[in-house]
Structure 1
Amino acid sequence: MKKCKLFLLVVLLGIMPFSFAQKGGTKDNTVTFYFTRHGKTILNTMDRVQGWADTPLTPAGVEVAEYLGAGLKEENIQFKAAYSSDLGRARQTARIVLDAKGQKDMVVTEVPGVRETNFGSYEGEFNPKMWNDAALYLHYKSYKEMMAAMEKNPALLKDMVDSFKALETLGIGEDYNEVKARGQKAIREIAEKEAANGGGNILLVGHGMSIGIFLSDLDSYGKKPDAGHMGNAAVCKVTYKYGKFKLESFGDMSYIEKGKLVSGK
C-alpha cells in the first residue's frame, strides 16, 4: 500500500510542471507583464489633468483598446491573469482588451497601488496651467522649455512631479517617491504571486505618468524607460525571473497597429 502511495506521489509531481505550462505558466516561472496605458478619456480629450479624478473612455478610447486586444490576439499572446488600477478608465480598458482578444471570462483584479499620480487641487485643471506653474517653480520660462529639457534628461520628471505636490493647495497630492513606492510594491507583490503560480503572461492596465515612474528603476540590469509621451493603450513589456525585473520595451504601439490591420482600418 505504501509503495502504491509513493508511486502515485511521484506521478503527480511529474505531472504538475506540465499542468502549469498547459494553464499558461512557464518552465522557469517567468512572469511577463504587459503594462498598458488606458484608452483615451473625456478629460484626455479636453487636455485636462486626470490623476485620481476619473472619466470614462471616449469612442476613440474604446476603439484603441479594441485594436490592442485584436493585435495581442494576432500575436497569440494568452494572458494567465489580468490586473488594473481601481480607477474606472483602467478597469474599462482591461475589460475591452480581454473581450477583443477572446478572453471574455477572465476576471480583472483591481489594484489601488497602481493608480495614477494624485495631483491634488490640479485635478480637472487644464494641463498647460499645471505644467506652466511647475516650469516657473523650477525656473524655466515655460512648460515647453521644461519639456525640452526633460527630453534630454528624463530624471527631471522627479522634479516636475515633486513641484506639483509643492504647488497644489489641497494637501493631498503625491510626490515622485510616494508614487514609485506604492506602485513598485504592488507590482512586486503581483510578480511574486504569479511566479509562485507558475509564471506566464500578465495584463496590467494603468496610467501614463505613473507607469513611467514605476518602471524608472525597476529593471535590475539598469535599463530605463525612454523619454517622451506614452500613447493611449501603449504597451511596456517587463519580465520577472528569479526575483529580478527586466524592461523589454516601453511605449510600444505595434500591437495597436497590428490590430488596425486585422480590423481592416
Structure 2
Amino acid sequence: MKKNLYLLRHGQTLFNSKHLISGWSDSPLTEKGIEQAKRAGLFFQSKGIHFDHLYCSDLHRAVETSKLVEPNLAPEIKQPLREWFFGYYEAERVAIMPQAPFGDYFCQFGGEAQSTVRTRIFDCIHDIMEQDDTECVLVVSHGRSCKEFYDAVLEEAANPNDKVPGNCGAIHFSYEDGKFSVVDLFTQEDYAQELRLPEID
C-alpha cells in the first residue's frame, strides 16, 4: 500500500530571526512563525489532506509548530527527529557556518557527524511509516534534519547545496515497499497562493 509522508520544518523562531545557529539550543516561535504554522495547517485542509498520525521532535519549537499545524491530533514526540547538534557552534552567528557538505566537521567541536544525523532521522521516519495504522503522516522536524532526510531519499541525485523549503515549508514523500520517493515541495508562497492571502513579510 502506498502511504504519504509530509515532512515539515518548524516555524520561524527568535534565533532564526536573529540569524543564530539553533541546533539543540531551543528558542520560541516568533509571531511570524506562529502565523506560518497556522497557514500550513489551513493549506493542508484546503488541499483535503488529512493526517492519521502527527510526530515531532522533542524540541519546543517543533512541538509548538505541530500543535498549530494540526490541533486535532496530539503530537507523538520522537527525540531522533531533533535538529543536528552543532557543538560549540550552537547559538553562534549563522554567518560563521562552513559551506555544506559538513561531513564530520562539527565533531571536533563536540557536535554530530553528518552520517549520524542522517541515519537517526531516516531510521526514525522509516520506522514510523512501517506502522500498520499509518497512511498519511505529518512529521515536524528541523531545517538541516529535513535536508539530511531529503538527501538520503534522493541518494546519488542529492545536491548538498540545494535548499529545502524554509520555515514551515513541507516536502511530500510517498512510501511503498520500504522505499521513499519525493512527490512535491510546498513553501509559504504556495500557502499564500492557495489561501488567497498576502505573503508574510
Q: Among 106, 124, 127, which residue is 1:164 paired with?
A: 106
TM-score (norm 2): 0.89
Aligned mates of 2:172, 2:120 — CA distance in 1: 20
Residue type at the aligned position of 2:5:
F
Residue type at the aligned position of 1:41:
T
Aligned mates of 1:64, 1:261 — CA distance in 2: 14
Q: Does 1:73 align with 2:45?
A: yes
**Which residue of structure 1 aligns with residue 94 of structure 2?**
127
Are 1:38 and 1:90, in contact at CA under 8 Å, matched by a contact in 2? Answer: yes
Aligned mates of 2:34, 2:184 — CA distance in 1: 24
Q: Does 1:191 align with 2:129?
A: yes
Q: Which runs of 5+ in 1 are unaligned?
A: 1-27, 135-145, 147-156
Q: Does 1:202 align with 2:174?
A: no
Q: Does 1:113 align with 2:48?
A: no
Q: Offset at 1:263?
A: 8.5
RMSD over aligned CA atoms reads 2.2
Aligned mates of 2:146, 2:51 — CA distance in 1: 20
Q: Among 215, 231, 241, which residue is 2:150 paired with?
A: 215
Report 1:1-265 matches (<5 A): 28=1, 30-99=2-71, 104=72, 106-129=73-96, 131=97, 134=98, 146=99, 157-158=100-101, 160-166=102-108, 168=109, 171=110, 173-193=111-131, 196-197=132-133, 199-219=134-154, 224=158, 227-228=162-163, 230-250=165-185, 252-253=187-188, 255-258=190-193, 260-261=195-196
Q: Offset at 1:228?
A: 2.3
Q: Offset at 1:201?
A: 1.3
Are 1:67 and 1:259, in contact at CA under 8 Å, matched by a contact in 2? Answer: no
Aligned mates of 1:263, 1:81 — CA distance in 2: 30
Aligned mates of 1:109, 1:91 — CA distance in 2: 9
Aligned mates of 2:53, 2:189 — CA distance in 1: 22
Q: Offset at 1:44?
A: 0.5
Query: Which structure features the higher share of helix residues?
Result: 1
Q: Which runs of 5+ in 2 are unaligned?
A: none
Aligned mates of 2:199, 2:120 — CA distance in 1: 40
Q: Aligned with 1:216: secondary structure?
A: helix
Are 1:67 and 1:258, in contact at CA under 8 Å, matched by a contact in 2? Answer: no
Residue by residue, what CA displacement relative to the aligned partner does 1:30-61 show, whole Å, maximum 9, x if unpaired? 22011000000011111101001101100000
Q: Aligned with 1:209: secondary structure?
A: helix
Aligned mates of 1:207, 1:250 — CA distance in 2: 15
**Which residue of structure 2 aligns with residue 22 of structure 1?**
none
Residue type at the aligned position of 2:125:
I
Residue type at the aligned position of 1:119:
F
Pick the structure with greater CA Rg.
1
Aligned length: 199
